[in-house]
């Protein structure tokens, strides 16, 4: 690259945390004088912010990088960030000689220096620290939406579920100081944002690593709820074990907190849960659900499920099926088990054949479709508060979400974007409700 970098494009894979990291990196690059562009092929700087959660996630990036390597992209700086950077490190440079830099999840703040080093030395540069230091410039974050924002409150994960790479790719839990979170949320409100989603691999661990702050997750929620002008607060993701009575009470009592809890069950068989090191039994999970529903009657629940974990029998799988049928989650992400390098489960035989995994996946998807469509039926003819977020993909209708995270498409002028509206639901198609603003 012989000229200064002017434009950049970041392609994001993986979870909301990665999407937020992309927005934080974009903010840093803009501060450095670069401009974001939509056309990946003409950017001076191309970054792949990657995910390692399943094999497929990694293969997508590898395929893409391979293609670029075979092309004639000489005049572009190419970087890889995110979880694959931590999982593969030096191997990436060996496999992709045209890759200019690799930056791990704990080194986002070094992005600017790394680019300078690449340009001045013309060597490949790698930064993949194991520890996260809280020094990110959150206020520079360049967000896609002007209405709702992701806000990081805790990074890393200490849970070590036996199938999962995250504790290795994102390191141990580090909570962000409450003052910094509050400052960012206040600044978001000043810019017109209406909703924040607090992010962490396990938000309920918030503050545990910093007992002297005297601010646990429910305390943080109460402080955020007091911010004037903020309309809605959400959070993702919760580990079932760490959902406390205090959090349930916060869901009941704090007016801004949306009544939606995503707390992955993963499997309905206690034997499998034990092997996954989820540290709860199916019965304990059901108890949490009952308790949550008795304290917060209108709560919606979301889950992640893995089918085909090593040794999963038909009987184990039926337990998952029955659990989903009994609990009736509003939202479920269902995955086939994928063995990950470096995890304890990788040492066990991946013994459920792929076609069996696929069949189990399909059965759960069908069940969930049925549950979701029943739920939508029940919403017909009723009126819900919707935060209007943006134009729908068709560019004509508007899109928003209810407090319980249901997507609603509605008619109306663009001025409604960024406002809360009472919306009457008159029909639905697939996973989307259709509604009309009630005057
Ligand atoms: N921290 C969150 C989830 C992070 S990963 C939590 O624990 O709730 C998102 C989801 O990916 C997990 O909940 C799990 O269902 C799935 N997942 C993780 N590792 C996987 C693997 N090796 N194979 C298949 N699915 C996996
Ligand atoms: Fe992975 Fe388990 Fe941590 Fe979630 S809680 S990120 S599934 S190790
Ligand atoms: Fe993927 Fe890393 Fe998120 S592995 S799911 S991007 S934490």
Mean pLDDT, range 143-163, rounded to an integer: 96
**CA–CA separation, 93 vs 101, rounded Å?**
8
Query: Considering only CA atoms, which residue is closest to atom 18 of ligand 1?
Result: 164
For residues 36 and 134, which has the higher predicted lDDT (pLDDT)?
A: 36
**CA–CA separation, 161 vs 276, rounded Å?**
6
Task: Compute CA 152 distance to the chain's CA centroid, rounded to the nearest angstrom.
Answer: 10
Mutate to test the pocket of ligand 1, among 205, 273, 288, 306 (most ligand atoms within 8 A of CB): 306
Does ligand 3 have an atom closer than 6 angstroms to the CB of 61?
no
**CA–CA separation, 131 vs 134, rounded Å?**
10
Quick: pLDDT tens for 73-104: 678 999 999 999 999 998 999 999 999 999 99
Question: Could you tell me the CA-to-CA distances from 359 to 103, 348, 392 in Å, in that order?
Answer: 38, 22, 33
Rounded to the nearest integer, the mean pLDDT of the chain is 95
Q: 438: pLDDT confidence band, cut at 50, 70 and 90?
A: very high
- State the distance from the centre of ligand 3 to the C-alpha of 60, rounded, in angstroms: 14
- State the distance from the centre of ligand 1 to the C-alpha of 242, rounded, in angstroms: 17
List, in order, residues 6 or more apart from 167 with CB less than 8 Å away.
156, 157, 158, 159, 160
- State the distance from the centre of ligand 2 to the C-alpha of 437, rounded, in angstroms: 40
- State the distance from the centre of ligand 2 to the C-alpha of 372, rounded, in angstroms: 26
* Residue 408 near residue 433 (C-beta atoms within 8 A): yes
- pLDDT value of residue 72: 62
Quick: pLDDT tens for 352-370: 999 999 999 999 999 999 9
- pLDDT value of residue 2: 63
Residue 420 has pLDDT above 80, yes or no: yes
List, in order, residues 6 or more apart from 33 with CB less than 8 Å away.
none
Mean pLDDT, range 412-427, rounded to an integer: 95
- pLDDT value of residue 395: 85
Quick: pLDDT tens for 217-238: 999 999 999 999 999 999 999 9
* Residue 257 near residue 218 (C-beta atoms within 8 A): no
Of all atoms in ligand 2, which is nearest to the CA of residue 160? 8
Of all atoms in ligand 3, which is nearest to the CA of residue 50? 6
Quick: pLDDT tens for 253-300: 999 999 999 999 999 999 999 999 999 999 999 999 999 999 999 999
- pLDDT value of residue 221: 98
Residue 7 has pLDDT above 80, yes or no: yes
Can you list the domains of the chain with their CATH numbers?
7-127 (3.40.50.12160), 138-378 (3.80.30.20), 380-437 (2.40.50.140)
Determine which of 96-100, 164-168, 226-230, 315-319 has the lowest per-residue pLDDT on average.
96-100
Mean pLDDT, range 236-248, rounded to an integer: 96
Burial string for 325-359 (b: 16+ CB within 10 Å, else e) reads eebbbbbbebbbbbebeebebeeeeeebeeebbee
Q: 381: pLDDT confidence band, cut at 50, 70 and 90?
A: very high
Closest CA to 4 of 120, 89, 101: 120
Share of the chain above pLDDT 90, in %: 91
- pLDDT value of residue 394: 85
228, two tokens: 């004037």
Residue 3 has pLDDT above 80, yes or no: no
Residue 334 has pLDDT above 80, yes or no: yes
- pLDDT value of residue 67: 86
**CA–CA separation, 362 vs 380, rounded Å?**
27
Quick: pLDDT tens for 198-214: 999 999 999 999 999 99
Of all atoms in ligand 1, which is nearest to the CA of residue 157? 1
- State the distance from the centre of ligand 1 to the C-alpha of 64, rounded, in angstroms: 23
For residues 141 and 75, which has the higher predicted lDDT (pLDDT)?
A: 141
Residue 1 has pLDDT above 80, yes or no: no
Largest CA distance in the chain: 64
Quick: pLDDT tens for 172-206: 999 999 999 999 999 999 999 999 999 999 999 99
Q: Let me know how many helices (H) and strands (E) the chain has, helices first.
A: 13, 19
- pLDDT value of residue 439: 78
Does ligand 1 have an atom closer than 6 angstroms to the CB of 345?
no
């Amino acid at each position: 690259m012989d000229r200064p970098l002017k434009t950049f494009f970041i392609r994001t894979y993986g979870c909301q945390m990665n999407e937020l990291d992309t927005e934080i990196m974009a903010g840093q690059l803009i501060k450095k004088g670069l401009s974001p562009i939509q056309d990946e092929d003409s950017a001076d700087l191309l970054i792949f912010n990657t995910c390692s959660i399943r094999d497929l996630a990694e293969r997508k990036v590898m395929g893409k990088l391979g293609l670029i390597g075979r092309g004639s992209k000489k005049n572009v700086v190419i970087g890889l960030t995110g979880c694959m950077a931590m999982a593969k490190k030096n191997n990436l440079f060996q496999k992709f000689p045209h890759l200019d830099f690799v930056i791990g999840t704990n080194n986002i703040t070094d992005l600017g220096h790394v680019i300078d080093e690449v340009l001045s030395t013309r060597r490949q540069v790698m930064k993949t620290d194991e520890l996260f230091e809280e020094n990110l410039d959150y206020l520079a974050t360049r967000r896609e939406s002007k209405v709702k924002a992701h806000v990081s409150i805790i990074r890393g994960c200490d849970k070590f579920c036996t199938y999962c790479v995250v504790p290795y790719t994102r390191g141990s839990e580090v909570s962000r100081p409450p003052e910094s979170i509050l400052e960012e949320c206040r600044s978001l409100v000043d810019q017109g944002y209406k909703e924040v989603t607090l992010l962490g691999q396990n938000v309920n661990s918030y503050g545990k690593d910093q007992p002297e702050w005297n601010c646990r997750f429910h305390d943080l929620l109460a402080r955020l709820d007091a911010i004037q002008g903020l309309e809605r607060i959400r959070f993702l993701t919760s580990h079932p074990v760490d959902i406390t009575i205090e959090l349930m009470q916060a869901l009941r009592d704090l007016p801004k907190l949306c009544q939606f809890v995503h707390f992955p069950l993963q499997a309905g068989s206690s034997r499998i849960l034990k092997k996954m090191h989820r540290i709860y039994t199916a019965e304990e999970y059901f108890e949490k659900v009952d308790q949550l529903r008795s304290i917060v009657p209108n709560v919606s629940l979301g889950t992640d499920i893995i089918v085909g974990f090593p040794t999963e029998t038909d009987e184990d799988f039926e337990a998952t099926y029955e659990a989903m049928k009994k609990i009736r989650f509003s939202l479920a992400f269902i995955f086939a088990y994928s063995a990950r390098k470096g995890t304890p489960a990788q040492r066990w035989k991946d013994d459920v054949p792929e076609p069996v995994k696929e069949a189990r996946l399909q059965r759960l998807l069908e069940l969930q479709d049925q549950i979701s469509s029943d739920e939508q039926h029940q919403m017909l003819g009723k009126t819900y508060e919707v935060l209007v977020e943006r134009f729908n993909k068709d560019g004509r209708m508007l899109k928003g979400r209810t407090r319980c995270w249901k997507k609603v498409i509605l008619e109306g002028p663009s001025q409604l974007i960024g406002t809360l509206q009472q919306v009457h639901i008159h029909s639905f198609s697939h996973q989307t409700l259709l509604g009309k603003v009630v005057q």
